[in-house]
Structure 1
Amino acid sequence: MIEFRDVSQQYQAGKPIIRHLSLTVSQGEFVVLIGPSGCGKTTLLKMMNGLIKPDSGEIRIKGKELKAWDPITLKRNIGYVIQQVGLFPHLTIEKNIAYALDIQKVSETVKRERARELIKLVGLEEDYLPKYPKELSGGQKQRVGIARALAADPEIILMDEPLGAVDQINRGGLQDEIIRIYQTLNKTIVFVTHDIEEAIKLGTKIVVMNQGEIMEMGSRDAIVFHSKSHFADDFIGNKGFLSYLNIVKIAQVVCPFNGNSSEKKISLWVSADDPLIVGIRICLENGVNQIGVRDGAGQVVGAFDLGCLSRLKF
């Protein structure tokens, strides 16, 4: 879907920002770019959108070299979401969402229907459509920005720290919405963040960058437990492991009750949808070796103890 072949880019002063970088983003992947400020994450994203041209190397989108794309056609295939959102203050939310369709001369009926569909998809009600951006909170504006990026039904969505200005409480909810949208629409997403927990939570592939180079790349499990890069180990560190425990569900490690216990003897219970950290905390706080696990319907599905963690497939 997106391919970088030995791409390099320098600032005007001659300082390299991207160094001989090669990367493939396959169709349907959720790729998260993470690394310290100035490592080249946003530059890489802008290259994908044709906003910055590389000094050397080749970028291909859907098998076609980037410079061979018509700029307007390229932008129709790529949705772009930024931290500042960039909603037009003089347009209603409906018109903001439908802006890309307006440029394409789509009928008013289709634009209205698409706006209604997308406002629900991002977790807002239709009564937001006649409002103006100044009437929305930061989190609501960011949801509208995501809806606008989806309006023309692009195959690729680029997100440049879209939740960086959102408070921590709303941030978690928006992350869940982005995951739901990704799973519902099966888009290819490239997401830039400096937040380790956000990267661990969202990415099907995580790319750790430093000084314009890829230091480590792989799945959540590979990055947290099998990193071969000292830089990635130091950068992800314990926070990556704690994030992992806060994201992976107990359902993945449920064990049968052992020979010395049964569900009748269990007084402490968790949900299969709770994260691992909840089960670990309850065991440690109460000085017990085992707690029970129920599903969403309240049915007993098994037990959880620290030994169950060996069921994780790293």
Structure 2
Amino acid sequence: MSNHVFELSEVNKRVLQNINLTVNQGGRVMVFGPSGSGKSTLLHLFNRLEDPDSGEIKYQGQPIEDYNIPKLRKDVGLVLQQPYLFSETVIDNLKYGPKMFNEWDEAFVDELLDYVNLPKAYLDKPVEDLSGGEKQRVSLARTLANKPKVLLLDEPTSALDDQNIESIEEDLLKLMDAWQLTIIMVTHNLKQAMRLGTKGIYLESGKIVETGKLPNLIEHPQTDSLKNFTANQ
């Protein structure tokens, strides 16, 4: 059985051109590059927020379009840069996904809160009373409540201060080890990419210019494009 979670062959979508890529089970993939290079579009292809104009995407060896979309998004969870929470309580947000599949497990709540560093007292707290960092933790916990196999992260710490960034990174590292999650993360922070990732993908103008192991890819770029990008970070 293949250990590839995703396989992309000759994928095109708007700015993205001829994307060929494999993501392995348990991979920690960091995607970076200039603004407008197609990073978020690439991320959206993995759980069918967008579909390619041409080319093929396989998830666990099967064409991605063969999967039921709600089930796919349960397996392949997405955490956005700005946390979009429902205007209710923390517990209402956590229950939302699992209740769709009749899988809400009350016993899982403590473990879930522990993973994202939130006290149990927050469960009945209205989301509008939370800080930015707390909202991002709830957003992460809401995605984790579905027990995903793959976690897509679109610059989840870019709007946070240094203390919250460090805390969220610790949460993510803990999760990766405990759940053996496959992570695909868009980041503009190369130091963060090296702290969290094992594989890097450098996108520019919709093309994969370089890919390789981290931190080697960033510390020893092979193309002028990536050399210039790292020099300006």
TM bracket, shorter-chain basis: over 0.9
Q: Which amino acid aligns with 1:106?
A: E
Instruction: Kindly provide the CA deviation profile for residues 170-212 of structure 1, in whole angstroms up to 9, marking residues without a partner as x.
Output: 1122112211211121100100111222112111111111001
Q: How does 1:177-188 map to 2 (within 5 A)?
A: 177-188=171-182
Identify the residue that residue 43 of structure 2 maps to in structure 1: 45
Pairwise CA distance, 1:238: 7.7
Residues 1:26 and 2:39 are matched in the alignment: no
Residues 1:127 and 2:121 are matched in the alignment: yes
Structure 1 stretches of 4+ with a deviation exceeding 4 A read: none
Identify the residue that residue 65 of structure 2 maps to in structure 1: 67
Pairwise CA distance, 1:113: 2.0
Identify the residue that residue 227 of structure 1 maps to in structure 2: 221
Pairwise CA distance, 1:53: 1.1
Identify the residue that residue 136 of structure 2 maps to in structure 1: 142
The more displaced of 112-121 and 25-34 is: 112-121
Distance 2:216 2:10 in 1: 24
Aligned length: 229
Distance 2:20 2:36 in 1: 18
Identify the residue that residue 103 of structure 1 maps to in structure 2: 100
Distance 1:221 1:164 in 2: 20
Identify the residue that residue 7 of structure 1 maps to in structure 2: 11
| Secondary structure class of the residue paired with 1:54 | coil
Structure number with the bigger relative contact order (C-alpha 8 A, sep ≥ 6) is: 2
Instruction: Kindly provide the CA deviation profile for residues 148-184 of structure 1, in whole angstroms up to 9, marking residues without a partner as x.
Output: 1111111111111111111122112211221121112
Instruction: Kindly provide the CA deviation profile for residues 292-313 of structure 1, in whole angstroms up to 9, marking residues without a partner as x.
Output: xxxxxxxxxxxxxxxxxxxxxx
Kindly tell me: are residues 83 and 238 of structure 1, through their superposed partners in 2, closer, same or farther at Cα, counting changes over 3 Å?
closer
Distance 1:179 1:106 in 2: 26
Identify the residue that residue 94 of structure 1 maps to in structure 2: 91
Give the TM-score taking structure 2 as reference length: 0.94
Distance 1:77 1:84 in 2: 21
Pairwise CA distance, 1:84: 1.4
Question: Does the 8 Å CA contact 1:159/1:190 hold for their aligned counterparts?
Answer: yes
Residues 1:160 and 2:154 are matched in the alignment: yes
In structure 1, list runs of 5 or more residues that go unmatched: 11-16, 240-314
Distance 2:198 2:210 in 1: 14
Distance 2:215 2:63 in 1: 33
The more displaced of 35-44 and 74-83 is: 74-83
Give the TM-score taking structure 1 as reference length: 0.70
Pairwise CA distance, 1:214: 0.8
Distance 2:38 2:71 in 1: 26
Instruction: Kindly provide the CA deviation profile for residues 7-28 of structure 1, in whole angstroms up to 9, marking residues without a partner as x.
Output: 1112xxxxxx001011111000
Residues 1:216 and 2:220 are matched in the alignment: no
Question: Does the 8 Å CA contact 2:16/2:205 hold for their aligned counterparts?
Answer: yes
Q: Which has the larger radius of gyration?
A: 1
Identify the residue that residue 274 of structure 1 maps to in structure 2: none
Q: How does 1:141-290 map to 2 (within 5 A)?
A: 141-237=135-231
Distance 1:237 1:25 in 2: 27
Question: Does the 8 Å CA contact 1:98/1:114 hold for their aligned counterparts?
Answer: no
Question: Does the 8 Å CA contact 2:151/2:183 hold for their aligned counterparts?
Answer: yes
Question: Does the 8 Å CA contact 1:205/1:219 hold for their aligned counterparts?
Answer: yes
| Secondary structure class of the residue paired with 1:98 | helix
In structure 2, list runs of 5 or more residues that go unmatched: none
Question: Does the 8 Å CA contact 2:198/2:215 hold for their aligned counterparts?
Answer: no
